Amino acid sequence: MTATDNPNLDKIKSVAALHNHTERNIQLYHKKYLGYSAKEINRYERFLNAVKFIQHNITLKNKVDWFEIVDKCGYYDQSQLIRDFKYYIDLSPTKYLEFQQAICNPKS
């Protein structure tokens, strides 16, 4: 396992140290060649993990515990989770859950 494989380490810092570059230089290369900053990609991955966690709970017919999602997916607080949902899909997490259940479990 390399330093960049550890999810607890900042990938930009690890790559910068590995290649003797500044963090800012690596950030600029990251944005230039990948099109998104590392922060933007991390935010999107955290959002996708939250959606997967919700889907998993729906599949198991469990009640969705928003605080557990905040904790497991790396959100600082519930408002950060809500902001990401509104940013990416223009719905609150609760509205997303209602929408998802209406589509996947239509009543005859």
pLDDT digits (tens, 9 = 90+) for 48-66: 999 999 989 888 888 888 9
Q: What's the rounded Cα separation, in Å, for the pair 43 and 38?
A: 9
pLDDT reported for residue 46? 95
Q: What's the rounded Cα separation, in Å, for the pair 58 and 101?
A: 8
pLDDT reported for residue 106? 55
Reference 97, options 83, 85, 80; nearest CA is: 85
Residue at token pair 């998993």: 56
Q: What are phi and psi of 37, to 5 degrees?
A: -75, 160
What number of other Cβ atoms are within 10 A of residue 47's Cβ? 19
Segment (H or E) for 5: none
Give the whole-number percent of the chain exceeding pLDDT 90.
Answer: 51
